[in-house]
A and B are shown apart, each in its own frame.
Chain A
Amino acid sequence: MPTLRDAGVALFAISYDSIEILSAFARKHGITFALLSDHGSRVIRQLGLVNERVQDDHAHYGIASNARHVGLPYPGVFALDERGIIVQKRFHESYRVRDTGASLVDQTLGGLLTIQPDEAVHEEEAVRVRVWLDSPTYAFFQRLRVNVEISVAPGFHLYGQPAPAGFVPLSVQVAPIENVEIGAAEWPTPHQFHVDGLDEKFWAHEGTVHTSLPLTFSAPPGAGDHVVNVTVSYQACSDSACLAPASVSRSLPVREVALVGRELPARDR
């Protein structure tokens, strides 16, 4: 994962596997970051990360129980700052849903990394919209995020929700895709905004706003490539005037890849 290294971020991946298993895994996949072996799960236990309910969970997710479920950690990530302080942690319910490395980085250390080059940019008076996926590929049951960044020129704002009557609030729509769960956009908190002459208060965004929506690919392997159609709607206003409401639509291709160590089933192309 060279982008992490370029950003000066150290990466440590911890599992209960033996050194031998990790060594073989690293060789096979060309991994150069640290795979730490917590064989026996001593550290996982000390940190309170053992999934005691894993038997129930696995039954729930349709996975037969097994001795190797003993001492399993909850899957997740801690993001540490320069002093080693935990600035964010993120854990999952299910072992089958995994963030991509890029997604974890974007979520946890947001803004630290340069954005993937595979992005769509729309620029017009006062507003710049960038739309990108955090990976151009997906694997079965992986989670990707659709990222949207909207920058508005100084002196302008974009309405959040609720917007004043007659104005278009900032929103992002992702067109439905078969067997892809599309989560809700997470927005930063808008500023409260007062319009002279109106009693109501409104919510507005200024500067640069970033949001993302999770996509979970739940079709069995072999579902094939998809196109993610994203539409961003907004209206930019200054204190004295508003630009016309606008919508930017972009299509982002995402290619299916096999799970690590597996082949995609054959299919007609």
Chain B
Amino acid sequence: MPLPARDFTKIGPNEGERFPDLQLPDQSGIMVDLHAARGSRKALVVFYRSADW
């Protein structure tokens, strides 16, 4: 039995909204403010499982 399909449009921030501000450390340990680092560039924000497994 396949799992019921999920409505992925309802997960996370919506299209048409500004992506929320976030600050996280990068692989060098330097704190990155996503929108500040982006400047006026377009961006892809990728969420992935893990780099470790």
A and B found bound together:
yes
Is the Cβ of B52 less than 8 Å from the Cβ of A17?
Answer: yes
Given A19-B29, A36-B32, A37-B24, A77 and B46 contact (CB-CB distance below 8 Å)? yes
In the docked arrangement, what's the CA distance between A81 and B16, Å?
A: 10
Chain B 14-49: CB-based contact to A (< 8 A → 1; otherwise 0): 111111101011111100101101111111111111
In the docked arrangement, what's the CA distance between A79 and B45, Å?
A: 6
Count, chain A residues at interface, CB 8 A: 63
Which of B19, B34, B37, B50 lies in contact with A15, CB distance below 8 A? B50
**Can you list 8 pairs linking A and B with CB atoms under 8 Å apart?**
A9-B44, A10-B41, A11-B43, A31-B27, A36-B24, A43-B22, A74-B12, A85-B17
Q: Please report B residues at the A interface, Cβ cutoff 8 Å.
A: 2-3, 5-6, 8-9, 11-20, 22, 24-29, 32, 34-35, 37-53
Q: How far is the CB of B40 from chain A (nearest CB, A)?
A: 5
Closest residue of B by beta carbon distance from A74: B11
Is residue A91 within 8 Å, beta carbon to beta carbon, of the partner chain?
A: yes
Is the Cβ of A14 less than 8 Å from the Cβ of B43?
Answer: no
Closest residue of B by beta carbon distance from A14: B47
Interface of A is mostly: mixed
Is the Cβ of A86 less than 8 Å from the Cβ of B47?
Answer: no
Q: How far is the CB of B23 from chain A (nearest CB, A)?
A: 9
Q: Please report A residues at the B interface, Cβ cutoff 8 Å.
A: 4, 7-17, 19, 21-23, 25-26, 31, 34-38, 43-44, 46-49, 53, 56-57, 60, 68, 72-91, 93, 95, 98, 104-105, 108-109, 112
Which of B2, B19, B25, B41 lies in contact with A86, CB distance below 8 A? B19
Contacts of A83 in B (CB 8 A): 18
In the docked arrangement, what's the CA distance between A234 and B12, Å?
A: 40
Q: How far is the CB of B42 from chain A (nearest CB, A)?
A: 5
A-B contact count (CB 8 A): 177
Closest residue of B by beta carbon distance from A95: B49
Closest residue of A by beta carbon distance from B26: A34
Which of B5, B11, B24 lies in contact with A38, CB distance below 8 A? B24
Is the Cβ of A91 less than 8 Å from the Cβ of B11?
Answer: yes
In the docked arrangement, what's the CA distance between A38 and B10, Å?
A: 22
Is the Cβ of B48 less than 8 Å from the Cβ of A75?
Answer: yes
In the docked arrangement, what's the CA distance between A80 and B40, Å?
A: 10
- Residue of A22, A49, A72 with most chain B CB atoms under a 10 A cut-off: A22
Contacts of A17 in B (CB 8 A): 50-52
Is the Cβ of A36 less than 8 Å from the Cβ of B44?
Answer: no
Which of A16, A53, A88 lies in contact with B50, CB distance below 8 A? A16
Is the Cβ of A86 less than 8 Å from the Cβ of B18?
Answer: yes
Closest residue of A by beta carbon distance from B53: A68
